[in-house]
Amino acid sequence: MSTDPSSSARTTTGHDPDGHGPNDLDVVKVRADFPILSTEVHGRPLVFLDSAASSQKPAAVIEAMDRYYETTHANVHRAAYSLAEAATNAMEGARARVARFIGATSPDSVVFTKNATESLNLVARSWGDANLGPGDAVVLTELEHHANIVPWQQLAAERGTELRWIPLTDDGRLDLTDLDRLLDGAKLLALSAMSNVVGTITPVRMLTDAAHAAGALACIDACQYVPHVETDVHALGADFLAFSGHKMLGPTGIGVLWGRPELLEAMPPFLGGGGMILDVTKDGFTPAAVPHKFEAGTPPIAEIVGLGAAVDYLDALGMDRVRAHEVSLTAYALRSLTERFGDDLTVYGPAEPDGRGGVMSFAFRGIHPHDLSQVLDQHGVCVRPGHHCAKPLMRVLGVGATARASWYVYNDEADIDALGDALEDAGRFFDF
């Protein structure tokens, strides 16, 4: 276990993985599970506020991957010897745990990819190629990440598909005034469950019900949702749902696509090669059963094992506690930073903490976000400047970029205070 050099300034709320209420998350104990959080940056304790881009990893995840490589590694699904069987069982056991984590009724509906971007491209290039043509409509929202925009734009350019957009209100929520018209005749609604920029939690079930009533399917980008909110793909009314391991304490290089089994069964393979076939002749091939039909080549076995360990870690914390902690921390950030800086700070997105995730995109005085982030880095405070792979949303907000702070299970009020102190220093540095 690591030792956090700033832990003496932190408080505990009494979290015990075996009990206590949903608000009881002991950040001191949680932080001790993350080796990187014991490091310093420029002589200061690391204050990591960039989990919306990629979260840090607990020792349990790192150790699970190390243990796999030390004791279990072999290629999966291709041999009868015991080591290969153990590797296969480790991978498929992780698939089953991921399925349970998102409320899926069958592990076979969980397809492993290298990230959520690949998952969404899989839907576009497999389901989309088979089902969309000239004049068909796909409905998007102005909140979307490029990963849930560009694949549909590519398809539209190639096949003549129409793209329609759900606009935003001034506070960063979806403007559903014209929803019925936008969905009329559409074949797909593709939307984020939680914005990676302004934190907006969208009314997913209402929107999926509306899509189904209009005869459309619903594809959910849940990258920011699954790591932070208890997720049930069936309760959300999803037809497809995509997320990434590295945003939920897991490793990079592993993503997930969940799809309704009957849809996956009907879709053609996305990539061709080894592992995704049942038979190959000179005249053609027969694909393997789902999910292996979509998992060509050697899979990222160690990363899948790491994702399974991340799921176990989050399960032990309790997703109700994770969400309650982030709502509380978001409320503190919005209140304390607004009181501290007033009109010098502009926060984008909904004002109510329970209507948003642990993401705060902001502008501070007239300082460019990239300059601001560099000064904050001198304090050990990690925030992300830029367009956050959401340029259409930036244009709606009327800015070229924002600074974005995002928190997770290992952050607490001391981190928000450190952000505030660093912002004050940035104001002095730029003589505002």
Catalytic annotation, residues: 389
Per-residue tokens: 164: 């329609």
CA distance 255 to 119: 7
Alpha carbon of 264 to those of 9, 216, 249, 358: distances in Å? Answer: 50, 16, 27, 32
Using a 10 angstrom Cβ sphere, with 0-12 exposed, 13-18 middle and 19 or more buried, the burial of residue 180 is: exposed
Residue among 352, 321, 368 nearest 20 (CA): 321
CA distance 196 to 225: 9
Burial 48-65 (b: 16+ CB within 10 A, else e): bbbbbbebbbbbbbbebb
CA distance 362 to 376: 14
Using a 10 angstrom Cβ sphere, with 0-12 exposed, 13-18 middle and 19 or more buried, the burial of residue 252 is: middle
Per-residue tokens: 412: 């607490």
CA distance 285 to 153: 30
Strand, coil or helix: 54: coil
DSSP 8-state assignment for residue 103: T
